[in-house]
Amino acid sequence: MGRPKRIQFPGACYYIELRGNNKQDIFLSNQDRRHFLNLLRQYRERYDLRVYAYCLMSGYVLLLIETVKPNLARFMQGFNTVYTKYFNSQHNTSGHVFQGRYVADVVDKEGWLPEMATHVHLECARAGLSSKPWRYQWSSCSAYVEGEAAEPMVDSGPVLKKFAKTRLKQSVRYMHVIRERLKGGADSSFPLVRGVYVGDEAFAAKMEAQAGRDEPAQAPAPPAEVMRIVAEVAAGHGMEKEKILGRGQWRDVAKARREAMHRLWRDARLGVTEIARLFSRTPSAVSQAIRLLEKP
């Protein structure tokens, strides 16, 4: 069966919307928000990301990031799993915290990086949470206005250099842009070409051509990585990996097993036959599990 098309390449910039499952809140306390940001700092280092902007709301998060390596899917899956494990443990809940499909629009960095950072920072004003985004605690706006010392994780330089040459003037002019947008109701629309590209038609065509190039086939992940993924999925469901590798048919175990099969097919690049052998299932059962999770 064909693998899902991904727009992933070194240096890709993404505008991401990460929303709660069934429109539920993903943060129930400031401790949750702090934990989320701490995880983002850790995963920024682990996956070699550049974090340009973020804004945490109660039921969703907006991110503007760049992947130095083509690893968006691995980053998002790992991050979501670890935060879900924390959330369920912290609040005595179970199941998914995030909805299955997240928005990941590819951004034209040359033309739209400043606009998208501003869009992210204005979200708290659009939602009525703060009329002064630079003072909203759960946004990266303060790093642009007060300096990166306010949040060292944020790489504001590529955005601010578009406004002036010196850091002081950059901050002043960025603050002016934010204030002017607030006067207009904080509206910040952007063009979405072909449903996934932030930019113009030429940028979209370039990205489509790049995504369509023949690339050398990647080898399957080594056994240690395979077991790491299985353990990560199991932990996200509050169980040991041996449980989903076994024969148990309890509903929660079966659900975790399907997710692990999908992860190994998608992220570890294992074939259906290899996955079937690992889980002692038939190839048709594995294919069915993968198709189930590939449905929109």
User: pLDDT per residue over 84-103, tens digit each?
Assistant: 999 999 999 988 899 877 88
pTM for this structure? 0.73
Cα distance between residue 60 and residue 129, in whole Å: 14
Per-residue pLDDT, 109? 95
Per-residue pLDDT, 294? 61
**Residues 18 and 61: beta-carbon distance below 8 Å:** yes
Domain formed by 12-211, architecture? 2-Layer Sandwich (3.30)
Helix axes 251-266, 223-236, angle to 10 degrees: 140
- pLDDT value at 193 more than 90: no
- pLDDT value at 12 more than 80: yes
Per-residue pLDDT, 290? 80
Give the model's confidence band at 207: pLDDT under 50 very low, under 70 low, under 90 confident, else very high. Answer: confident
Per-residue pLDDT, 1? 40
Higher pLDDT, 240 or 212: 240
Classify residue 11 as exposed, middle or buried by CB count within 10 Å of its CB (0-12, 13-18, 19+).
exposed
Weakest mean pLDDT among 72-86, 158-172, 197-211, 228-242: 197-211
List the domain boundaries for the chain: 12-211, 223-294
Determine the topology of domain 223-294 in CATH.
Chromosomal Replication Initiator Protein Dnaa; Chain: A; (1.10.1750)
Cα distance between residue 214 and residue 207, in whole Å: 14
Q: What percent of the chain has pLDDT over 90?
A: 58
Cα distance between residue 180 and residue 161, in whole Å: 19
Per-residue pLDDT, 9? 87
- pLDDT value at 166 more than 90: yes
